[in-house]
């Protein structure tokens, strides 16, 4: 798994190359919740989806190339003031099967 660096800011974007694919992540605060938009090679995969702890973010039909998951203590809901203690990670394509099987 690859840790994705986030700032303690309510609205942020970053671009990162993962598994040979350009990803653009846009994270925004919306009424006490954190939302994420993910683009792969300039194609929007998800738009303004609520961030939850421990749940794969990208829908199944797109996750053959890897996926993102937010890790938090006690399954707390991700929130920008806790980024640093809460971590966004990328599960590589090679790690996906093991991750799905609980490993």
pLDDT (0 to 100) of residue 50: 95
pTM summary value: 0.86
24: β partners:
15, 39
Burial 30-56 (b: 16+ CB within 10 A, else e): eeeebbbbbbbeeeebbeeeebbeeeb
**How far apart, in whole angstroms, are the C-alpha atoms of residue 93 and residue 66?**
4
Helices and strands of the chain, counted as H and E runs:
1, 7
Determine the structural domain holding residue 83 and report its residue range: 2-100
In tens, the pLDDT along 47-87 reads: 999 999 988 898 877 666 789 999 998 889 999 999 989 99
Report how many domains make up the chain: 1
């Amino acid at each position: 798994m690859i840790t994705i660096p986030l700032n303690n800011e309510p609205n942020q974007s970053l671009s990162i190359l993962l598994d040979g694919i350009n990803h653009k992540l846009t994270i925004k605060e919306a009424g006490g919740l954190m939302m994420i938009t993910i683009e792969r090679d300039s194609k929007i995969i998800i738009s303004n989806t609520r961030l939850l702890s421990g749940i794969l973010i990208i829908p199944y039909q797109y996750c053959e190339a890897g996926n993102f998951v937010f890790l938090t203590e006690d399954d707390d809901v991700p929130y920008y003031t806790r980024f640093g203690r809460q971590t966004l990670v990328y599960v590589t394509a090679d790690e996906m099967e093991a991750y799905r099987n609980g490993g």
